Chain A
Amino acid sequence: MESLTDTEIFDLLDGMASEELNQRHQELWRTDERYRQYFDELHTLHQSLRGLSIESPSVGFENTLLHRLEISQREYKLLAISKRTLFLFVGLMMGLMLIGLLLLHDGQSAANHLFVPALENTITYVGLEDIQKVLFLINGLLLLLVCEKLIKKYLELHWRQL
């Protein structure tokens, strides 16, 4: 009788063999000494593997991991706050720009007629140059903030690749 292949023996061990395969195995087990030895070897290995224990990490594993998680959550919160601040800043800037445009606009609409004189008075009081300086300063800060974000991202990526 033809001996079983390794695949067939493993199917037997895994409990996935057909009835026909089981019968062939029984027959070979009774008659073929070499087959019996080989089957026993694989069967012992199979049993040993089933009894293999799972490895455990070091005692500090859990605490180190949770500490890392805590730090990353804190960083995430800080990032969220800084993002919110950035949006607030951009919003503020847009508002200021709009006011600036309104101040400089020589409008014809009825609405403008109502508050342009008042704005003109404000410009005269504060001074157009001063307003421009403040706007430049805020825009400069915004530009620096955007640059910092971009450079930081680039450096992080570059650092990881290294």
Chain B
Amino acid sequence: MNDYLKDIAIIERIMAGDKTAHRDLVRCHKNFAFTIAYRILNNRQEAEEVAQDAFMQAFAALKDFNKTAKFKTWFYRIVFNAALMAKRRQKPTESMTESHVLAFSIEDTPQNLQRQERSNQIQEALAKLSADDATMITLFYLKEFSLEEMTEITAISSETIKVKLHRARKRLAETLRLQLGAEVKNLY
């Protein structure tokens, strides 16, 4: 069963009064909802609150949800808007980048460690991008949304999204270059 049909089946269970269906819907979407919020807010606690608020809003509006539409684009739009609103309310000190802790284990091979290090560098660089840029990259790469779906979520035209996405990736590349340059300097 594809994601769309799976979502619709869960929604129908919720509407029929199935108590366990809410949990199933949360399980399907909590990670990505949290990731979108986290990319925008750069604060885990706030991102969790925003993701939870978005779920609450979605549950309350579920009876009005048009089942011919995709739940994920409808829901992630709620998350995106909620995170942007929270970002506006956020005090400057709260948006400070949280450090990513590298977890080493015995099973870590040099390749895995290298990959992990690269991933951390990108996470750090992403945190330095604007909320808009980080969201574009998150939507495009992490869930592999199409430009049309991204248009539905962000309410920005697909042409503008394309431009924003290109610009975001360029900025990310520049940030990474600067980051790596600083790391090399620190070595000497």
Residues of A within 8 A of B (CB): 6-7, 10, 41-42, 45-46, 48-58, 61-62, 64-66, 68-69, 72
CB of B34 within 8 A of CB of A55, answer yes
Query: Looking at chain B's contact residues, is the secondary structure mostly helix, strand, loop, or mixed?
Result: helix
- When chains A and B are docked, how far (Å) is the Cα of A57 from the Cα of B52? 10
Counted as pairs of residues, one from A and one from B, with CB atoms less than 8 Å apart, the total is: 82
- When chains A and B are docked, how far (Å) is the Cα of A49 from the Cα of B144? 11
By the criterion of a CB under 8 Å from any partner CB, how many residues of chain B are at the interface?
Answer: 37
Given contact pairs A49-B122, A72-B60, a sample of 6 additional A-B residue pairs in the complex whose CB atoms are under 8 Å apart: A45-B169, A55-B31, A56-B31, A57-B30, A57-B34, A66-B22
- When chains A and B are docked, how far (Å) is the Cα of A51 from the Cα of B141? 8
- The residues of A that contact B63 with a CB separation of less than 8 Å are none
Please tell me which one of the listed residues A7, A52, A64, A72 contacts residue B166 in the complex, with CB atoms under 8 A apart.
A7
Please tell me which one of the listed residues A6, A10, A48, A54 contacts residue B118 in the complex, with CB atoms under 8 A apart.
A48
Q: Which residue of chain A has the shortest Cβ distance to B167 in the bound complex?
A: A6
CB within 8 Å for A6 and B119 given contacts A57-B31, A61-B48: no
CB within 8 Å for A56 and B34 given contacts A68-B52, A69-B56: yes
